[in-house]
Amino acid sequence: MLEPTCHIPVLVDEVLQWLEPSPGKVFVDGTFGGGGHAKALAQQVAPHGLVLGIDLDPGAIARSEQTLATLPIQLVAGSYAEIPTILANQHLAAVDGILLDLGLSSDQLTDPARGFSFLSAGPLDLRFDPESGEPAWKLLQYCEEKRLADIIFQYGEERYSRRIAKEIVASRRASPIRTADQLAELVRRCVPRSRGHQIDPATRTFQALRIAVNEELTSLELALKSLPECLRPGGRFVIISFHSLEDRLVKHAFRNDDRLEVLTKKPVVASDRESIENPRARSAKLRVAQRTAGNTSGN
């Protein structure tokens, strides 16, 4: 039996403001997670509307299946990059809005078997879907040093990437890295910690490996190209990102897609109050684009 969700969704009021849910509308939450956004939307579209909740993590689906009986939410296991296929399977031609809340959930972070937490003595997995692909610890066992440094630099924007990659390769000759706390300790030895800096030195490396293992940027690029076609004219595309790589992709895609009209010239960020109450919200950036009428051509 899975524990109830501990995830606190970010920018819920802002999501509702921009998606404008009302009775009878149909929305897709492509990153269902703990279900906070989906539940808020479902309460507004009931009784005859629908929220299609999609998540790569089977645990997210299983955790919520028994608690949603009174809400018009339908859950599907899969990637948000597969939304066009999922909608076709559900006999939905187009929807009124799509939400993507990128990154990981608190449920994943607190699960010691997943390896998302620096303190975890469990396996360094980092997969959103633990039944697909290969875990991060396996990547660290065979990845050659230059490629590993490139991953950490490109996906983590870590200036000490070469030093970290070199130390990983040297370490695995004697004892392969298998757990999250082992990797965190190794990275801390390689990255100087600035005085007064609150972010753990391992943060960027974990981010990079997570992105690589889950092919997150590839999925986002695919979604940015295909999902505008899934919106009705006037339908809205809302994306919440948590680091500059994602936000940059979203900003450029929204601006350069003639199927979309950008509604947020600058990203929407959390209020001071929300940032205090939910620290995860501090790095959240929300962007919104609207499907234009009559244009079916892509980038």
- Residue after which a domain boundary falls, among 213, 243, 278: 213
Structure token pair of residue 181: 């706390």
pLDDT at 62: 85
Same domain, 96 and 222: yes
Same domain, 240 and 199: no
Asked, for residue 27, whether it belongs to a domain, the answer is yes
Helix 203-214 × helix 180-190 angle, to 10° = 130
Same domain, 140 and 162: yes
Cα–Cα distance between 272 and 186 in angstroms, integer? 34
Q: Clarify whether residues 92 and 16 are in a common domain.
A: yes
The reply to whether 207 and 67 lie within a common domain is no
Question: For position 281, which CATH number holds?
Answer: 3.40.50.150
Residue 1 covered by a domain: no
Same domain, 134 and 209: yes
Residue 34 included in any domain: yes
Give the model's pLDDT for residue 50.
97
Any idea which residue has 């009209």 for tokens?
A: 261
CA dihedral 158, 7, 105, 18 (to 10 degrees): -90
Beta-ladder partners of 239: 100, 287
Where does a domain end: 195, 213, 231? 213
The pair of structure tokens assigned to 17 is 């403001």
- Its domain, for residue 135, covers 114-213
Mean pLDDT by 10 residues, the chain (299 residues): 76 98 98 94 96 92 80 95 97 97 86 88 93 95 97 97 97 93 96 77 95 96 98 98 96 97 97 93 96 67
State the total domains in the chain.
Answer: 2
> What confidence score (pLDDT) does residue 90 get?
94
Residue 274 lies in a domain: yes
Query: Do both 174 and 103 map to the same domain?
Result: no
Residue 38's pLDDT is what? 96
Looking at residue 197, its pLDDT comes to 67
CATH code: domain of residue 206? 1.10.150.170
Last residue of a domain, one of 184, 213, 242: 213
